Amino acid sequence: MFAQFAARYQRLKGKQVLFPFGFHCTGMPIKACSDKLKREMEDYGFPPKFPEAAIATPQITDTDIVVKDKSKGKKSKAVAKTGSAKYQWQIMQSLGLEDEEIKKFADSSYWLDYFPPLAVKDLRSIGIHVS
């Protein structure tokens, strides 16, 4: 955060300053998620009708339990991060997106149109200057 204060101070002094905060979108994870959505639409239709077994809540197995000394939780990191969603479509629905909107994410370039403006908005809402 010091860089934010230094940049603002120099701007107040009349200097042209680039804001030090930046972010980028990584292409491979975006492409992988985009491909998953395409595959799910090919396999299960639009909107997808997933098998009933896939919709059920995953059961915690012995391999999912973490050593007691390392954590207070009972789930592994992988189980905690994925939640109950098994398919990419379900993950997108958990973000509050409608089926018609999710369909657009099958095009990997749509991710770059959709998410960066939201990230900029969120960063500005907490007072970070980003362009």
Q: What is the 3-state secondary structure (H, E, C) of 55-115?
A: HCCCCCCHHHCCCCCCCCCCCCHHHHHHCCCCCHHHHHHHCCCCHHHHHHCCCHHHHHHHH
Q: What share of the chain has pLDDT > 90, as a percent?
A: 48
Tokens standing for residue 25:
């979108």
Whether 83 is in a domain gets the answer yes
Whether 70 is in a domain gets the answer yes
Per-residue pLDDT averaged across 61-77, rounded?
57
Gap between the terminal Cα atoms of the chain: 16
Whether 8 is in a domain gets the answer no
Amino acid 23 reads F
Whether 61 is in a domain gets the answer yes
If one compares 127 and 76, the residue with the highest pLDDT of the two is 127
The structural domain count of the chain equals 1
If one compares 80 and 58, the residue with the highest pLDDT of the two is 80
| pLDDT on residue 61 | 56
Amino acid 17 reads V
Whether 44 is in a domain gets the answer yes
Whether 129 is in a domain gets the answer no
Whether 39 is in a domain gets the answer yes
DSSP labels, 24-57? ---HHHHHHHHHHHHHHHHHHTTTT---HHHHSP
Full domain range(s) for residue 57 = 26-113
| pTM of the complete model | 0.65
pLDDT-derived band at 7, boundaries 50, 70, 90: confident
Whether 32 is in a domain gets the answer yes
